[in-house]
Structure 1
């Protein structure tokens, strides 16, 4: 599988800027394993430039490595032999070669700042006085989201206001994974486990079923994914034990701050603080009812990455047994009996993504402007879509089950819809049920997996 899957929009943005005549300063950042390096390499396939990859090492070794790489690219044996003595000589060298369009992509930029905190100030001076007048196409990339934002975009940074564009690389959407796998049921199950992180999806074998992939690719003690969640967390977080407790609690279904506090024994102030950091790292997101504003006090918290959710749900609780080589035992006794329920809690997010995809091609009863979930006092609706002027509202329930009685679901959905306070006196209401398959369809729109696949094909034709 190509790690570049679904990145056409980002690549188009880069090419549009590359065709300009002016200097460009692009900040590219996102979580580890998300595909930043692959995007840079794909961009460089059709442009002139070099991908410089920083490492966690001393300043002298960093400069020596960049000297070798640039010397090889520009066929400069003198540079390869003598190298840069400091960052000033590095920037001077770039200026000498920026008379024509050239891409200089510096990957893992935070490693350079960590070793030399003065580097952003130096880059600011060179950009303001000389580089911005060249044809350089500079890309600064990094996996440490907080450091990339603080070093390049925050007001107090020397580089504030210098960037000409930024790309926060997001996980792949479900529609991209569906396009790759081709079959709806397989795509739902694979996405529920591996999520939209390209490196995790590449680790899976699409020619084998999901249970084989879980056992071999996630739960075997020698597999890449078995330890990667721990690796990412320990790399990003200074004191991971509280974070582990909070993430585990969220995976167990404790989505409010109060429930997390009760489950972990941590104080509300600590949970609030750590959740805020996890949100900044894009490991957790806050969801509010679709009819509420951002400041709503009804916010709930969920893991952003499906593999993290699967790992904390099924791997972390059984680490000792798995480390003794009992992957088959754990998979048979703990994963298989609960797998449909696990997939079900992610299915509604995949349907939301499909609805957003259909909405862009006007394949639903109306074109909506907001989509999300709704809940209030123990009642909840999986998906609610809203449109203003005129006011339309769509209520949808998602069931990762076969032989669903849609008429029964529709009746209950109508009852809950009456509880949703949103322009009740002047709205047009629409209802639908999504399931793997139906035993009986009701008087509302019903979409099984084949119906969803047919809509995806219609969207591709449009």
Structure 2
């Protein structure tokens, strides 16, 4: 199945948990619980649906919709009645009047002699709408559900709420294991789309590794052919996924959306974001950035150095959303008029400079996964350094901790151009910036899309090595 390229590990985890349930048949508490969180449209529900299909055991799958408590309870009852649980008819004979009764009744219809799967999708809606839902769930799990051979899977797109569900001090703490489902990584994108390493990184930036968008990219297709096809289709996943996710995350968050648009357009500092958001007040901007950060939509970063800095910069965390905000959202009226060619022309014009900035965190993550090697040590943190005026800017800083490091382990520069290798001029600029940051002879490295011709570097990395960093290591 296209949607599950690269999801073998997650499916194996789910199957292993179900195996634990089966192995504990007859025990006092054979039940297991798994909390799955991840961004919207990342494929969480599809992953679990595929697992349920493969597991071939009785199962019930309920998806909350953010409706009233009563309506959600009705939907839950209907989900059980349409499930494959053997005693599901009990729910038609006695419909529960509250969630405590619903869970108690659910436990009553779960068999004792075979494993089952129960899925509650979009659990944060229930946490938000049902009074004391976490406590209700905890009591039901401790007293009834965990005593049945069931794998209970709770899924949520609200990352902060799902983290809180299992956190210390909350009712459901330590009741379930946790799985964070991320996008397809660059190596998985390369395999799925049959792309060379450099092209795979481009595809990862545009799609964000979202399976639904990757599914529209025919294997071996080039970037510009893919964009031309998607921009000519007003209902393509590339066009609509971001808007649907934002509408669900911020239904009433006009201010947060304005701030996000400013950051997506390229503004990085607090002052510039405020200006681009229409002169928003300091208090309102602080509230908006905190909301966006809590939802993991943006990231606020500080430069890594041996001295503290307050020069925080913001970026959109998801490359796809960043691409959509920068290029797609402003062009939607034209795309709806079937003039996607105009949007494509603007992407071509701005692509090199946009990619040069957006690829940096991806390549830093790649390097962090790759090290240590024969040239450089492992670095607990890999970030960047900058000054307020950008007179000194270093793309890669490896250090022992962040943001204030005790020791700088290496410094590096990224040059991600098709036909321009990393040369002696680039080394000279990196050496100059190192001298402004530290007096120590910290090793220097280059990351280049088109090779390295310079001397004076401790290490150099290209697309092949950086893509390999995302593949599982042989133990």
TM exceeding 0.5? yes
Structure 2 partner of 1:174: 186
Matched ranges for 1:320-399 at <5 A = 320-332=333-345, 334-359=346-371, 362=373, 364-377=375-388, 378=390, 379-387=392-400, 393-399=409-415
For 1:189 and 1:251, locate their aligned partners in 2 and report how far apart those are by CA, in whole Å. 18
Inter-partner Cα distance in structure 1 for 2:386 and 2:377: 23
Alignment RMSD: 3.2
Of 206, 228, 233, 2:246 maps to 233
| Offset from partner CA, 1:240-293 (integer Å, 9 cap, x none) | 322232122112221111111122211121111111111122211122223379
Structure 1 residues 246, 93: closer, same or farther in 2, change over 3 A? closer
Cα distance in 1 for partners of 2:395, 2:136 equals 51
Cα offset, 1:372, TM superposition: 1.1
- Matched residue, 1:29: 37
Q: CA 1:276/1:171 → structure 2, altered by over 3 Å: closer, same or farther? A: farther
Give yes or no for the alignment of 1:53 onto 2:62: yes
Q: Normalized against structure 1, the TM-score is what?
A: 0.85
Query: Residue 163 of structure 1: SS of its match in structure 2?
Result: coil
Task: Answer whether contact 2:410 2:444 (CA < 8 A) is retained.
Answer: yes
Contact 1:178/1:184 (8 A) holds in 2: yes
Q: C-alpha distance in 1, partners of 2:416/2:36? A: 37
1:175 touches 1:353 (CA, 8 Å); kept in 2? no
Structure 1 residues 42-441: aligned runs within 5 Å: 42-44=50-52, 45-46=54-55, 48-56=57-65, 58-59=71-72, 61-70=74-83, 73-76=84-87, 78-79=89-90, 82=93, 84-86=95-97, 87=99, 88-97=101-110, 99=112, 100-113=114-127, 116-117=130-131, 119-149=133-163, 153=167, 155=169, 159-161=171-173, 163-180=175-192, 181-218=194-231, 220-264=233-277, 265-291=279-305, 297-332=310-345, 334-359=346-371, 362=373, 364-377=375-388, 378=390, 379-387=392-400, 393-401=409-417, 402-421=419-438, 429-438=442-451, 440-441=453-454
Q: Cα offset for 1:80?
A: 7.3
> Shift of the alpha carbon at 1:15?
4.5
The answer as to whether partners of 1:40 and 1:51 remain within 8 angstroms in 2 is: no
Query: Relative to 1, partners in 2 of residues 1:364 and 1:132: Cα closer, same or farther, differing over 3 Å?
Result: farther
In terms of mean alpha carbon deviation, does 435-444 or 253-262 score higher? Answer: 435-444
Aligned equivalents of 1:109, 1:458: Cα separation in 2: 32
Partner of 2:27: none
Instruction: Note if contact 2:394-2:412 (Cα within 8 Å) is conserved in structure 1.
Output: yes
Q: Aligned equivalents of 1:307 and 1:273: distance in 2?
A: 24
Contact 1:54 1:112 (C-alpha < 8 Å) held by counterparts: no
Q: List per-residue Cα deviations over 1:79-113 (Å, max 9, x = no partner).
A: 47546334415533324525343322211223445
Q: Map Cα deviations across residues 138-188 of structure 1 (whole Å, 9 max, x no partner).
A: 111122334444555474x5x342523222323333233234344112212
User: How far apart are residue 35 of structure 1 and its match?
Assistant: 1.8
Distance 2:430 2:76 in 1: 63
Cα 1:33/1:285, change in 2 over 3 Å: same
> Comparing 281-290 with 10-19, which one deviates more in the overlay?
10-19
Cα separation, 2, equivalents of 1:164 and 1:315 = 39
Give the whole-Å Cα distance in 2 for the aligned partners of 1:2 and 1:123. Answer: 35
The answer as to whether partners of 1:51 and 1:107 remain within 8 angstroms in 2 is no
- Alpha-carbon separation, structure 2, partners of 1:219 and 1:311: 15
Q: Which runs of 5+ in 1 are unaligned?
A: none
Contact 1:52 1:69 in 2 (8 A): no
Partners of 1:369 and 1:203 lie apart in 2 by 37
The structural deviation recorded for 1:460 is 5.7
- Structure 2, unaligned stretches of length 5 or more? 25-29
Aligned residues between the structures: 450
